[in-house]
Every structure is written in structure tokens, then in C-alpha cells.
Amino acid sequence: MYPNATCALHHDSPFQLLVATILSAQCTDKRVNEVTPGLFEKYPTPLDFAQARQEVLANDIRSTGFFNNKAKSVIGAARKIVGEFGGEVPKTMEEMLTIPGAARKTANVVLGTAYGIASGVVVDTHVQRISARLDLTKHTDPVKIEQDLMKIIPQDRWILFSHQVILHGRALCVARNPKCAECALNSLCYAKDKTV
């Protein structure tokens, strides 16, 4: 159904993807994509973000919501990357998890999309909902859902799987009244809230 699925956040580098992913919390990718072109022009390198004043950056990203916390995370992440990783986003989950504002979901997005490294499965709200509907997990905690998905999905599909499920969650398997009549998984799915 979604053979060419990929990340919807525009970026030109792993660091830009990290920033965009931090900004995407509780915000649409569309809104983030409206903000990031001007943002990356104003702050072209991790060092520029590391040296930014939090209240100034917060104002620059105001329209993405939760701007004070996001500004703090972005500056913290930039300082860590400049100070400890030579200005490059690291390539392991272990190192990624030391970066402020980067939990497993963010780390999986950046490692998977920017570097093509499958360290886990991105579990966002769409993956959470659809994994339950398709009975791929009984858990509600994202960390446990991810562990279940890592057991049943071949590792070479982990990166694509998340992109595909996220697209499915936007296109058909929406939170309320999923469009099951149009869904190719209809005959396989026995979700309680199916609409056909």
C-alpha cells in the first residue's frame, strides 16, 4: 500500500533531522516544515544552535508549540553534539540516548532515516494505535510495543515499517472512524473499532 514511504520532515543533514524531530512533538510535520527552512538559514550549524539564547530560539520556533521546552532540548542537544561528538550526530542508540530531548523514538527516527541504521522501530501515536488494531502487541507503553514489534518484524523492514504505518495512520487507519472499506488489510484485521 505504501511502497515508497519515507520521513515527511524536510532536512539536509542528520542534525537538521534531529532538530525537526524534536520540534515535531505534539505538532504536525507540515507545521514543522514551515518553520525549519527559516530556522536552518538563521542557524546553519550545530554550533549556531549551541550558542543560541533560549528565549530567542523559543520565539523562532513558537508556532510549533511547547517552544520553551523544545528550545531547551535543541540547545542542549546541539551543545552535547558539539562538545562530545565533534559536531556530528552519533550513530549508536546508546550515544543518541545521552542527547537531551532524544528518547528512543527520536533516536530511531534519526538513526533510521538519516543513517539507514535499524536500531529499533519508531513508535509514535500512529504506530501505537495501528499495532494495537492489527494485534501486533497487547501493550500500551511505547517501549514495550517497540520490543514486540522488533520481535515480529524482520530487522531489514524496521525503518520502512514505521514510515508505512505512519502514512497508513494518516491516510486510512485514522484515530476515529478508520476508512476500513478502502483498506487492503480489511480481510486480515479484526480491530474492535473497524467500521466495516
Is 148 a known active-site residue? Answer: no
Compute the distance between CA of residue 110 and CA of residue 142 in angstroms, rounded to an integer: 17
Burial of residue 147 (number of CB atoms within 10 Å: 0-12, 13-18, 19+): middle
- Within 10 A of 41 (CB to CB), how many other CB atoms are there? 8
Name which of residues 172 to 191 contact ligand SF4 (CB under 6 A).
Answer: 172-173, 178-180, 183, 185-186, 189, 191
One of 105, 141, 148, 193 is an active-site residue; which one? 105
Name which of residues 125 to 154 contact ligand SF4 (CB under 6 A).
Answer: 133-134
96 binds ligand SF4 (CB under 6 A): no
The three-class DSSP label of residue 88 is: coil
One of 29, 48, 124, 148 is an active-site residue; which one? 124
Compute the distance between CA of residue 33 and CA of residue 2 in angstroms, rounded to an integer: 21
How many residues bind ligand SF4, per CB under 6 A? Answer: 13
Nearer to ligand SF4, 64 or 131 (CB): 131
Nearer to ligand SF4, 59 or 195 (CB): 195
Taking the complex as a whole, the smallest distance from the CB of residue 165 to ligand SF4 amounts, in Å, to 9
Tell how far CA 37 is from the center of its chain.
Answer: 18
Nearer to ligand SF4, 21 or 164 (CB): 164
CA distances from 28 to 22, 39, 138, 165 (A): 12, 17, 27, 16
Is 144 a known active-site residue? Answer: no
What residue type is 196 in one-letter code? Answer: V
Residue ranges binding ligand SF4 (CB under 6 A): 133-134, 172-173, 178-180, 183, 185-186, 189, 191, 194
Catalytically active residues, by annotation:
105, 124
